[in-house]
Structure 1
Amino acid sequence: MPEFRQINAGAAEIRIALEGSGPLVLMVHGFPESWYSWRHQIAPIAEAGFTAAAMDVRGYGGSSRLPEVADYRMEALIADILGVGIVLSPDAPFTLIGHDWGAPQVWNTALTRPDRIAAVAALSVPFYGAPEFSFDDVIQRVFDDRDRFFYQSYFRNPGRAEADLEADLRRFLAGFYYSISGDAQEGEWKLGLPSSAKLMDSLTVPAAMPGWMTEADLTYYENEFRACGLFGPISRYRNHTRDFEHLSPFRDRTITQPACFIAGDKDPAFNGFGMVTDPIGKMRRAVPNLETAVVLPGCGHWTQQERPAEVNAALLPWLSSLKGRVV
Structure 2
Amino acid sequence: MTAHHTTGNHADFGAITHRTVDVGGLALHVAEQGEGPLVLLLHGFPECWYSWRHQFAPLAAAGYRVVAPDQRGYARSDQPADIGAYTLPHLAGDVIGLIHALGEERAVVVGHDWGAPVAWATALLRPDVVRAVAGLSVPPPAYGETPPLHALRERFGDGFYQLYFQPPGVADAEMAADPAAVFRGVLYAASGDNPFNDPPRPWIIPDGMPLAATIPPPERLPDWLTEEDIAVFVREYARHGERAFTGGLNWYRNIDRNRELLAVFRGARIRVPALFVAGDRDLVMTFGGGADRVVAGVGRAVAAPHRSLILPGCGHWTQQERPEEVNAALLDLLAGLPAGG
Provide TM-score, normalisation by structure 1: 0.92
Specify the alignment match of 2:176 in structure 1.
166
1:26 aligned partner, one-letter code: L
Specify the alignment match of 2:38 in structure 1.
24
- Does the Cα contact within 8 Å between 2:44 and 2:115 map onto a contact in 1? yes
Alignment of 1:25-40 (within 5 A): 25-40=39-54
User: Quick check: 238-247 or 301-310, which moved more?
Assistant: 238-247
Say yes or no: does 1:108 pair with 2:121: yes
User: Quick check: 253-262 or 200-209, which moved more?
Assistant: 200-209
Q: Report the 3-state secondary structure (helix = DSSP H, G, I; strand = E; otherwise coil) of the residue aligned with 1:53.
A: strand
Specify the alignment match of 1:122 in structure 2.
135
- Does the Cα contact within 8 Å between 2:191 and 2:197 map onto a contact in 1? no
- Does the Cα contact within 8 Å between 2:44 and 2:113 map onto a contact in 1? yes
When residues 191 and 85 of structure 1 are mapped into structure 2, their CA distance, relative to the original with a 3 A threshold, is closer
User: Quick check: 10-19 or 197-206, which moved more?
Assistant: 197-206
User: Counterparts of 1:187 and 1:276 in 2: how far apart (Å)?
Assistant: 14
Q: Report the 3-state secondary structure (helix = DSSP H, G, I; strand = E; otherwise coil) of the residue aligned with 2:79.
A: coil
Alignment of 1:61-72 (within 5 A): 61-72=75-86
Query: Where do 5+ consecutive residues of structure 1 fail to align?
Result: none
User: Counterparts of 1:99 and 1:16 in 2: how far apart (Å)?
Assistant: 16
Query: Where do 5+ consecutive residues of structure 2 fail to align?
Result: 1-12
Specify the alignment match of 1:251 in structure 2.
266
User: Counterparts of 2:176 and 2:288 in 1: how far apart (Å)?
Assistant: 26
When residues 142 and 305 of structure 1 are mapped into structure 2, their CA distance, relative to the original with a 3 A threshold, is same
Post-superposition Cα deviations, 1:24-49, rounded to whole Å, max 9, x if no partner, equal 11010000000000010011111111
Say yes or no: does 1:6 pair with 2:6: no
1:253 Cα deviation from its structure 2 partner: 1.0
Candidates 263, 287, 291, aligned match of 1:272:
287
Q: Report the 3-state secondary structure (helix = DSSP H, G, I; strand = E; otherwise coil) of the residue aligned with 1:95.
A: strand
Provide TM-score, normalisation by structure 2: 0.89
Q: Report the 3-state secondary structure (helix = DSSP H, G, I; strand = E; otherwise coil) of the residue aligned with 1:270.
A: helix
2:196 aligned partner, one-letter code: E
User: Counterparts of 1:293 and 1:181 in 2: how far apart (Å)?
Assistant: 20
Candidates 181, 193, 202, aligned match of 2:191:
181
Specify the alignment match of 1:94 in structure 2.
107
1:296 aligned partner, one-letter code: L
2:56 aligned partner, one-letter code: I
- Does the Cα contact within 8 Å between 1:149 and 1:196 map onto a contact in 2? no
Candidates 197, 214, 234, aligned match of 2:249:
234
Post-superposition Cα deviations, 1:63-115, rounded to whole Å, max 9, x if no partner, equal 1111111121111111111110112243x321100000000000001111112
1:292 aligned partner, one-letter code: R
Q: What is the root-mean-square deviation in Å for CA atoms of aligned residues?
A: 2.0
Q: Report the 3-state secondary structure (helix = DSSP H, G, I; strand = E; otherwise coil) of the residue aligned with 1:138.
A: helix
- Does the Cα contact within 8 Å between 2:31 and 2:69 map onto a contact in 1? yes
Specify the alignment match of 2:236 in structure 1.
224
